[in-house]
Chains A and B, each alone.
Chain A
C-alpha cells in the first residue's frame, strides 16, 4: 500500500535532519514508518527457521524501496543509506526481542536468529537486549566501531563492503572488528551489574 503523502513528507524532512547528524530523527522516522517496517521485519523473522540465517537483504530491499518511494530523497548517498538501514535493522531486532521477552513463558529459550557470523553471541532475547546495551556503551567510547558492527552483522555486509562503505581500508575494518567483538564478548560475559 502506498504510504500517505504527509507521512512521506515528514520522513523526508527527518531523513534530512538525520543526515545532518540529528540522531533523534532516526527514532522519529522509525516510529513514523513503524507499522510497515515492523510488519516487514517480523515477517522475515517469523519465516526464518531456527538455525537459519536471517536474510537481511530482503528486509533491506524493502526498506530501500520504501524510502525510494519517498519523493525528494536522494538515495545516491550510499553510505548514509546503508548505515541508516543497519541502525534501523538493529532497532527492529531489539524491539522484537523486547516483545518476545514480554510474551514468552519463563524458561523457554526462543532464539532470535541473527546473521550467522553473529552466532558467537548466540542471541536469546535477553542476550539481544544485553547486546543492545553493550553496543550503546561501546558507542560512547568509539562510535565508528558500532557503525562497523551494525553494517557487518545487522546488515550482513562483508568486511570488504563495509570498508568500501565507510571509505576506510579493509585492514582497518578487520582490526576494528577484532577489537569490537572482543570488547563486546568480554562485556557480555560479565555479570550484568558489574562495570567495565
Chain B
C-alpha cells in the first residue's frame, strides 16, 4: 500500500469515529509514525472546515434598464436567459395601463448581419395573427443599440404545470394540446418554424386558452454565419429533435418532434429518453440510438393522481393508439413523423371520437417487413409480393380491430401474415392464371392506392414505400400492368424528392422487375433487376444485396440471358449473404442449388451434381428439412434424367411432391410442374402410369407456362411422355414447338436444346423416320459441341445422340 493510500484509508476510517475520540484513535493507528498522523489530522481539519463553509450565492441583478423601447419602458424583471432578458413593460407616456412583455436580446448577439435578419424575421413574425400565439406588438433597436421585441403580456401557467395543478384528465389534456397543434400548424403554413417548443413556451391563461410564446425567436437567433456559437443554445436539449442535436437542417418535422416530447410528458409525466437531468442520457441521444420508453411503463402512481385516474386506468388509456400517435411524432427519422401538425390533430381527434387513427403502428409494420425479408427467397421471383399484400391487409385489419395490446399485436400480426401467406399460396399459384382470390383484397388495395397519393404527399419516402407495396401486390394479384404503373410512380416520387438513387429505390426496382416478369417482359425485368443490383451494391437493400442478386440471377435465367451470366449473379449472391441468421445459414445451399442447376444445363454434370449434393447435405442437416430443399430435389432429378438414371430421378421427385403435400408453399408453384417431371421419368423408365399422371395436370401447367423457359420445359416433357406412350404425332408437335420457342426466344441458351434434339430424334426413329432422325441427331451433336464446350466428350446425351445418329444412319443405308 502506497503512502497516499495509507493516508486515504486512515482518513476515511477516522471520519467514522466521533470527533472527540479522533485524536486518540488516530494516535493508536499511526504506530508512532508522527508524520502520517499529522497529515491525516490536517486533512480531517480541512475537511470539517470545508464542510462548514457554505458557498455564498451571488446576489441577482434585479435592476431594470432605464432606456425607452419604442413607446415603452421596462417596469419589472421577469426572467433572464442565455440569449435574452424579459421584463414587464408599460407605456412610457402612461396613457394606457396595458401591460406588455419586453424582451431584450443579449448584447453579444449584436452586429449588422444580426440586425438585418432581425428586421426580416420581425416582419415575418408580425404577420402571425392567431388566438393561440402571443402577438408581436413592436420591436426594434433601443437607443443603447440593444435589439428588442414587445409582445402581448400573458398571465398564465406553463402547459405542464397548468395541467397538473388542475388535475386535468387525459381528454382535457388532449384538448389543450389540440390548441397547441392548431397554433403550430397555423405558423407552419405561414412558413415559420418555432424550433424551441417546450412547456415553458406554451402558456395556458386564466381562461384556459393556450398561448404560444417566442415564435420565430429561435430561428431569428440562429445566425447562419455563426452556427457553432449559437445553435446549441437556441434550443432546449430536452425537447430537441435528433436532427437539431446534430446541427442539421431543420424544418417543420423538428417542431413535430418537440411537440411529441411535450405530449409524451403531458400524457405520462416522464421524459421519453431516460433521466432528463443526466448528462449521459442527453448525450446518448445525439447518437440517435436511443428509443423512447413506452408510454405505459413511464406512467407512475403520482402521474395517475394528477390525471385524476388510477394507475391501472392510466396505463390502459396510454396503451395502443395514443402510444402509436406519440411514437410517430418521436420517430428518429423526420420523414417517418407526421407530415404536419394538422395530421397529428386529426389523429388525436379520431382517437377522442373512438374512430380508427391513420398512423400505422410501427411494431407490426416492422414485424411484417421483417417477415417479408426473411421469406424473400422462398417466395423469390414468383410471389414475394404476396407477403406485401399480407402486410397491407394486416395493416388495415389491425386498424379496424383497434388492437390495444402492443406485444400481443405483434404476435397476432406475425401469425396472421403466416396464415395469409399459407392459405393464399395453397389456392393461388400464379398471377397469370388470374384466380378469384384477388377479389378479397381488391377493395383494400384500391382504397389504399387512392389514399396514398393524397395523404402522404408530404412524405415522399412513406408514399413511395406504400405505392411500392401496393404496386407489388397488384402485380401478383393478376394485374401486373397496374402494379408496374404504381411501382414506376413510386420510383418517380423518389427521384423527384432527390432519392432516385437510394436503398428504397433498389427495393422498388426489384419489385418492378417482378411486375415485368409477370407480364412476360423478361428483358425489361432483367434491366430493372440489374439496376436494382447496382443500387443495392451502393446503398444496400431492405432485402439484402445477396437476395437482390439472387433474384436477378433468377430473372436472367428466365429472360433467356446466357446461362453463364445468370450463374455469375448467383455466384456473387452467394458471396453477399443476408444477415438474417436462418437464411444466412441456408444461403450457400440456396445459391449452390441454382448454380448447380445451371452447371448441369451447360453440360457440366460433374460439378453441377457436386454442388447439388452439397446443397442437399446442408439442407438435410437442418430440421424439417427446410422447404428450400424443393428446388434442390428438382434440380437433382433433372441431372439424374440427363444421366439416364430415371428411377433415381423419380425418387427425388416423389420426395419433393411428398414434402409439398405436407407443407404447401408457393415456392414451387402448386407442384404440377413436379408431377409432369415425374410423369416424364416414369415414362422413360417404361412405366405406363406416366401418361395418366401427365394428363391430369397438363392443361393447368400449359396455361401456367408463361415464360419461354417454362413453356419449353413443358413441351419437352409432354413430348417425352407422349412419345413413350405411342402418341408420336402429338409428341412431335410438342417437341418441335419446344425447339422453335427455344430457338426464337431463348437463342442465347442453346444448351437446353440438346435434349430436345435427342428426344425428337428418338421420336422420329421410333416412327421409322431414320433419315430425319439421323439429321436431327446430327443437329443435336452440333448444338452440344458448341454449347457444352469442354464437357462435350463423354456427356451422356452426346453418347445417346451418337448412338442414335449411328443406328439411324445405318438403317438409312440398309
List chain B residues, Cβ under 8 A from A156: 279
How far apart sit A57 and B232, CA to CA, in the bound complex (Å)? 10
List chain A residues, Cβ under 8 A from B237: 57-58, 61
Question: If the complex has contacts A142-B4, A185-B49, are A47 and B278 also in contact, measured as CB distance less than 8 A?
Answer: no
Interface residue A103 (Cβ < 8 Å from any Cβ of B): no
Question: If the complex has contacts A43-B229, A47-B82, are A182 and B283 also in contact, measured as CB distance less than 8 A?
Answer: no
List chain B residues, Cβ under 8 A from A60: 279, 283
How close is A119's CB to chain B, nearest CB, in angstroms? 3
How close is B110's CB to chain A, nearest CB, in angstroms? 13
| B: number of interface residues (CB 8 Å) | 42
Contact of A40 among B83, B229, B277, B279 (CB under 8 A): B229
Closest to B57 in A: A51
Q: Mark A130-170, 1 if CB is under 8 A from B, else 0.
A: 00000000000110000000000001111001001100000
List chain A residues, Cβ under 8 A from B116: none
Interface residue A10 (Cβ < 8 Å from any Cβ of B): no
Closest to A142 in B: B4
Interface residues of A in 4-53 (CB under 8 A from B): 36, 39-40, 43-44, 46-51
Task: Find out whether the CB atom of B286 lies under 8 angstroms from the CB atom of A68.
Answer: yes
How far apart sit A82 and B55, CA to CA, in the bound complex (Å)? 28
Q: Mark B36-59, 1 if CB is under 8 A from A, else 0.
A: 000000110011011001011111
Task: Find out whether the CB atom of B43 lies under 8 angstroms from the CB atom of A186.
Answer: yes
Contact of A64 among B12, B229, B277, B283 (CB under 8 A): B283
How far apart sit A62 and B286, CA to CA, in the bound complex (Å)? 10
Task: Find out whether the CB atom of B80 lies under 8 angstroms from the CB atom of A49.
Answer: yes
Interface residue A104 (Cβ < 8 Å from any Cβ of B): no
Contact of B279 among A43, A56, A141, A175 (CB under 8 A): A56
Interface of chain B: mostly helix, strand, loop or mixed: helix
How far apart sit A66 and B282, CA to CA, in the bound complex (Å)? 16
Q: Mark B214-233, 1 if CB is under 8 A from A, else 0.
A: 00000000000001111011
Interface residue A77 (Cβ < 8 Å from any Cβ of B): no
Contact of A119 among B12, B55, B277 (CB under 8 A): B55
List chain B residues, Cβ under 8 A from A122: 55-56
Task: Find out whether the CB atom of B282 lies under 8 angstroms from the CB atom of A57.
Answer: yes
Name the interface size band of chain A. Answer: 35 or more
Closest to B8 in A: A179
How far apart sit A36 and B228, CA to CA, in the bound complex (Å)? 8
List chain B residues, Cβ under 8 A from A51: 57-60
Q: Mark B1-31, 1 if CB is under 8 A from A, else 0.
A: 0001000100110010000000000000000
How close is A67's CB to chain B, nearest CB, in angstroms? 11
Task: Find out whether the CB atom of A185 lies under 8 angstroms from the CB atom of B232.
Answer: no
List chain A residues, Cβ under 8 A from B8: 142, 175, 179
How close is B226's CB to chain A, nearest CB, in angstroms? 9
How close is B684's CB to chain A, nearest CB, in angstroms? 63
How far apart sit A169 and B166, CA to CA, in the bound complex (Å)? 42
How far apart sit A61 and B236, CA to CA, in the bound complex (Å)? 12
How far apart sit A183 and B47, CA to CA, in the bound complex (Å)? 8
Closest to B277 in A: A158
Q: Mark A68-93, 1 if CB is under 8 A from B, else 0.
A: 10000001001000100000000000
How far apart sit A120 and B278, CA to CA, in the bound complex (Å)? 22
Task: Find out whether the CB atom of B43 lies under 8 angstroms from the CB atom of A183.
Answer: yes
Interface residue B707 (Cβ < 8 Å from any Cβ of A): no
Contact of A65 among B46, B56, B247 (CB under 8 A): B247
How far apart sit A125 and B164, CA to CA, in the bound complex (Å)? 44
Closest to A118 in B: B55
How far apart sit A90 and B548, CA to CA, in the bound complex (Å)? 52
Task: Find out whether the CB atom of A179 lies under 8 angstroms from the CB atom of B55.
Answer: no
Interface residue B106 (Cβ < 8 Å from any Cβ of A): yes
List chain B residues, Cβ under 8 A from A43: 228-230, 233
Interface residue B189 (Cβ < 8 Å from any Cβ of A): no
Closest to A46 in B: B108
How close is B43's CB to chain A, nearest CB, in angstroms? 5
Query: Chain A residues in contact with chain B, CB under 8 A?
Result: 1, 36, 39-40, 43-44, 46-51, 56-58, 60-62, 64-65, 68, 75, 78, 82, 111, 119-120, 122, 141-142, 155-158, 161, 164-165, 175, 178-179, 181-183, 185-186, 189
Query: Chain B residues in contact with chain A, CB under 8 A?
Result: 4, 8, 11-12, 15, 42-43, 46-47, 49-50, 53, 55-61, 80, 82-83, 106, 108, 227-230, 232-233, 237, 245-247, 277-280, 282-283, 286-287
Beyond contacts A164-B280, A182-B11: 12 other A-B pairs, Cβ-Cβ < 8 A, are A39-B228, A40-B229, A47-B83, A49-B80, A61-B245, A64-B283, A68-B286, A156-B279, A157-B279, A158-B278, A165-B280, A185-B50
- A and B contact pairs by CB, cutoff 8 A, 10 listed: A47-B233, A49-B82, A68-B286, A119-B55, A122-B55, A122-B56, A155-B279, A157-B279, A157-B280, A185-B49
> What are the 8 tightest A-B residue pairs by CB atom distance, in nearest-first order?
A51-B58, A119-B55, A186-B46, A43-B229, A182-B47, A185-B50, A58-B232, A47-B82
